[in-house]
Amino acid sequence: MQQRLSIIALGVCDLKKSRKFYEDLGWQTATQEGAENIVAFNLQSFVLTLYPIEKLAEEVDMPIKITTPSFTLAYNVASEAEVDATIEEARNIGAKIVKPPQKVFWGGYSSYFSDPDGYLWEVAFNPFSQPEPDGAFKWV
């Protein structure tokens, strides 16, 4: 199995509401306007989709509920000021700020907000590793 991944599909309660949230953050959907059942965003080299949770449960034939997620998604930026600005942007579109921007033990500066389903987004500045101009990020 190659070291790659094609899609992250987040189960959501209200597709229209979740779609609006990410569009308000400035993202553009790849799916057509009329698509009722799925919303896709092309990220650098893979796809993030929003998918109704009941469809996702049906797909894998398991009872699935949305609870506090046991994973996080991180958006790394180039400075502490950019963390602050991104969190303000999220606050302005109604995101819940779960953890205000602060210095963290590993030497960086980070904050968390959550999306309408409670999915956790970290916005972080890591002084040791920053995103490339094209948005790619690597662990070094």
Is 32 one of the binding residues for a second copy (CB under 8 A)? no
Find, among 61, 72, 57, 17, the residue nearest to 39 by Cα: 17
Among residues 16 and 46, whose Cβ is nearest to a second copy? 46
Residue 21 is encoded by which pair of tokens?
A: 């949230």
Residue 119 is encoded by which pair of tokens?
A: 């999915």
**Count of Cβ atoms closer than 10 Å to residue 13 Cβ:** 14
Is 83 one of the binding residues for a second copy (CB under 8 A)? no
Residue 137 is encoded by which pair of tokens?
A: 């990020």
In the set 9, 14, 20, 80, which binds a second copy (CB under 8 A)? 9
Residues that bind a second copy (CB under 8 A): 1-11, 25-28, 30-31, 40-49, 53, 56, 59-76, 86, 89-90, 98-99, 112, 117, 119-120, 122, 124, 131, 134-140
